[in-house]
Amino acid sequence: MNPAQSAYAVEIEGLQKSYRGRGAEAKMAVKGIDLRIPRGSFFGLLGPNGAGKSTTINILAGLVKKTAGRVVIGGYDSDTHEREARQMIGVVPQELVLDTFFTVRQALELHAGYYGIPAKKRQTQHIIDVMGLSDKADARPRSLSGGMRRRLLIGKALVHQPDILVLDEPTAGVDIELRTQLWDYVRELNRQGTTIVLTTHYLEEAEALCDEIAIMNHGAVVACDTKRRLMEGFDSKCVLVRLTQPIQELPEMLHSQGWELQADGRLLRHYAPRDSIMDAMLADLHAHGYEVADLSTRETELEAIFRHLTSMH
Ligand SMILES: Nc1ncnc2c1ncn2[C@@H]1O[C@H](COP(=O)(O)OP(=O)(O)OP(=O)(O)O)[C@@H](O)[C@H]1O
Ligand SMILES: [Mg+2]
């Protein structure tokens, strides 16, 4: 197959990983998952601690050997075309592993050399600037803060301008300013066509950035869809109502209909849009003589969906 024709940046089929501890029982960290990451997408791989996210990502990066299954990166099978597959992808691992001997600039140069990028085509200075490491360009990792080390790791993953950038917890320990800067940069890369795969425990980050989301739990994929469908499919919204005359206590009848009285005096109700009629819900309030001054509705947050899906399995 011509890799350029593949609709997927990454295709994973029946992927399994079993870690063998010395003497200990084998640990099935990834239990035969299938994942398709569309080319050009901003893909969030979410899940609680130990779900198997990093294991999956480290297999993509070639850092962990899979037990079984097939991995195709940018159209190249990682078993039969390992070198080509590696060129397609840049991975920022969760673990902060850096060679302590080289300065920031040297580390980036060496890494570019590793990918066979000629000196003239290297973007070392640009990467240093973008990652906010100009002051530290000639410092060794030992003298960098945790957040700066992570920036250097991100820089290293970018040297060969990969089609696919995989970020495993990139903002853990990164300050707010750099976080914003990093997301602006990654968004721009995505706009220019780079596929982004991200794991994060900050679900509001995933909600804001990702257009496709997979949720893993106990080594399995429990959901994988566009963010829109995932959120719509959940069929749950909530409405917040402000009454013209604030009330102190909620009548039992309204409570049994699902209304809750909030500390700020507003009434809140969760509902399923598919079989609810707003008019009828408001009529319940009118029946008690309440007048609605204002209302707003909101979608269920990704966090609620995440909690629901990871508690079921
Ligand atoms: N090198 C290893 N040897 C043995 N077991 C491992 C190893 N690495 C990971 N595991 C186990 O595999 C499972 C999945 O771990 P993994 O690091 O992939 O989870 P994760 O989803 O990335 O979690 P987190 O959100 O904490 O980063 C865990 O039970 C973990 O203990
Ligand atoms: Mg992890």
Per the structure, the count of domains in the chain is: 2
- Is the pLDDT at 3 greater than 80, yes or no? no
- Is the pLDDT at 94 greater than 60, yes or no? yes
| pLDDT for position 96 | 79
Buried b (16+ CB within 10 A) or exposed e, 82-93: eeebbbbbbbbb
Q: Do 89 and 154 lie in a common domain?
A: yes
Rounded Cα distance between 245 and 210, Å, is: 41
Three-class DSSP category at 169: coil
Ligand 1 lined by 29 (C-beta under 6 Å) = yes
Pull the structure tokens for residue 24: 């200990």
Q: Do 197 and 259 lie in a common domain?
A: no
Q: Do 86 and 224 lie in a common domain?
A: yes
Which ligand 1 atom lies nearest to the CA of residue 201?
25
Read off the pTM. Answer: 0.83
Ligand 1 lined by 123 (C-beta under 6 Å) = no
Determine the residue of 16, 17, 30, 54 to mutate for testing ligand 1's pocket, defined as the one with the most ligand atoms within 8 A of the Cβ atom.
54
Q: Do 276 and 165 lie in a common domain?
A: no
Q: Do 155 and 262 lie in a common domain?
A: no
Q: Rounded to an integer, what is the distance from CA 289 to the centroid of its chain?
A: 46
Domain boundary among 231, 262, 287: 231
Query: At 20, is the pLDDT very low, low, confident or very high (cuts 50, 70, 90)?
Result: confident
Tell me, in angstroms, the distance from the centre of ligand 1 to residue 176's CA: 27
Note down the domain range covering 146. Answer: 3-231
Rounded Cα distance between 120 and 123, Å, is: 8
Ligand 1 lined by 75 (C-beta under 6 Å) = no
pLDDT tens digits for range 175-224: 888 888 889 989 999 999 999 999 998 888 999 999 999 999 999 999 99
Determine the residue of 16, 31, 55 to mutate for testing ligand 1's pocket, defined as the one with the most ligand atoms within 8 A of the Cβ atom.
55
**How many Cβ atoms are within 10 Å of 213's Cβ, its own excluded?**
27
Which ligand 1 atom lies nearest to the CA of residue 51?
21
Q: Among candidates 198, 127, 184, which has minimal Cα distance to 157?
A: 127
pLDDT tens digits for range 24-70: 688 899 999 999 999 999 999 999 999 999 999 999 999 999 999 99
Q: Which ligand is nearest to the CA of 45?
A: 1
- DSSP classification of residue 74: T
Rounded Cα distance between 200 and 194, Å, is: 19
